[in-house]
Amino acid sequence: MLDIKFVRDNPEIVKENIKKKFQDEKLPLVDEVIELDRRNRDAMTEANNLRSERNKLSKQVGMLMGQAKKDPSKLEEAEAAKAQVKANADRLAQLEQQETQLAAEIRRIMLQIPNIIHPSVPVGRDDSENVEVEKFGEPLIPEFEVPYHTDIMERFDGVDMDAAGRVSGAGFYYLMGDIARLHEAVLAYARDFMIGKGFTFCVPPFMIHGNVVEGVMSQTDMDAMMYKIEGEDLYLIGTSEHSMIGKFIDQIIPEEKLPQTLTSYSPCFRKEKGSHGIEERGVYRIHQFEKQEMIVVCRPEDSMDWYEKMWRYSVELFRSMDIPVRQLECCSGDLADLKVKSCDIEAWSPRQKKYFEVCSCSNLGDAQARRLKMRVKGEGGASYLPHTLNNTVAAPPRMLIALLENNLQADGSVKVPQVLWPYMGGTQVLTPKH
């Protein structure tokens, strides 16, 4: 969410940013919110003047009433002053109600106006215009046919989609045996990898209040993703970023405590599934999965440096498991409204002979901090808004697909990357049962 003062002072910049995101239907919101802000400021000025006048009139009434005891002619003047106090009080009540209504309407509109994107973000309409920046590792196509990922898992008796369908419906799964153990090994390795980078490990709440949801994501994303607990002000998290950033709601962080670097484990729950084609079935796009996340809260001047570090951590992690990846810069039209800059890390799929998304690294500037009323107390006691960033460390369902396909052998076995051996009890190769 932008600062209303910035919108008021820079309406053309805000409108141009909306155009770059191909959201022209939001252009009228800029003039609308500026007019509402003008009315709100006028109301506040009038209310403040009335409060000041009320104090003066109250003293005058007291003085006149005292004088009226000695001079009855002063009584009429005192009653007139009392009537003016009453009229001012009635008008002040109207203005205070008007301020409340206008403030709510201003916030509603401001939540819809997208954040200002970084100058380096390529302009494009949607994800088809995202830009490949760099590849890491050589993408190989084996001489043998690579089966669909659930077929690979079934050779190890490692997945049961049918049972999950009976128990929970479409979009769920059972992981079993070696595949389930590999899943947990990836998460444990990802956790320790980030601890090794100096991040503090955290297991956050898996449900959050509605005001936290509003603080960390757009209304559109919220409606598409979040499961709400019926009858309670609680939502299941779609990613632990939500509760990790929410940890700082209404907090003033001492500057010496920055940067806050946290890595968190959580299950994730998402409504969105739909029809996405055969390559996104199986365990690729599901309602429930587990994830290791990283978040950073830092000084504004440090956020782009952290953005660079964070996506490179993802590359390093995947390459340590012999998985080729590439960095894909997200274009303006593919950025969620709160994001300043974002990139995807995509893993190579030998089966599809193309890359697919496994990580998303985002710099949100001060948008989440403003929504959540986070502050940093700087030198001299002055406060400012920090910047927030997040990135996927590992989301094993998709990472499992990349790991299994890239480490599959001609005989159907799967090499376990060396970094995972300690988490697999020393097992170096998974041998299929079928």
Q: Where are the domains of the chain?
A: 4-110, 127-430
User: What confidence tens digit (pLDDT) does each residue in 19-73 have?
Assistant: 999 999 999 999 999 999 999 999 999 998 888 877 677 666 566 565 665 566 6
**Alpha-carbon distances, residue 383 vs 168, 252, 335, 368 (angstroms):** 48, 8, 29, 16
Q: Is 295 strand, coil or helix?
A: strand
Distance, in Å, from the CA atom of 83 to the CA atom of 406, rounded to the nearest integer, reads 84
Tens digits of per-residue pLDDT, 153-210?
999 999 999 999 999 998 899 999 999 999 999 999 999 999 999 999 999 999 999 9
In terms of CATH, what superfamily is 127-430? Bira Bifunctional Protein; Domain 2 (3.30.930.10)
Q: What is the pLDDT of residue 118?
A: 97
The pair of structure tokens assigned to 49 is 């003047």
The mean of the pLDDT values for the chain is 92
> Which residues are 131's β-sheet partners?
329
CB atoms within 10 A of CB 195: 12
Of the candidates 387, 384, 325, 385, the residue with the CA atom closest to the CA atom of residue 362: 387
| CA dist list (Å): 330 to 118, 128, 358 | 11, 9, 14
H helix intervals, 168-287: 177-196, 210-216, 219-225, 240-246
Classify domain 4-110 by CATH number. Answer: 1.10.287.40
Give the percent of the chain with pLDDT over 90. 81
**What is the spatial distance between Cα 431 and Cα 351, in angstroms, rounded to a whole number?**
20
Q: Which of 235, 394, 401 is nearest to 320 (CA)?
A: 394
What average pLDDT does this structure show over 107-127?
96
> How wide is the angle at C-alpha 161 spanned by C-alphas 156 and 162, nearest 5°?
115
**What is the distance between the alpha carbons of residues 38 and 209, in angstroms, rounded to a whole number?**
32
Q: What distance in Å separates the CA atoms of residue 268 and residue 246, rounded to the nearest whole number? A: 16
Q: In this structure, which amino acid lies at residue 91? A: R
- For the stretch 69-102, pLDDT in tens is 556 666 666 667 667 777 888 888 999 999 999 9
Contacts of 320 (CB under 8 A, 6+ apart): 193, 417, 419
CB–CB of 346/357 below 8 Å? yes
Measured between alpha carbons, how far is residue 324 from residues 277, 316, 327 in Å? Answer: 24, 10, 11
Q: What is the mean pLDDT of residues 288-312?
A: 97
Give the three-state DSSP class for 143: coil
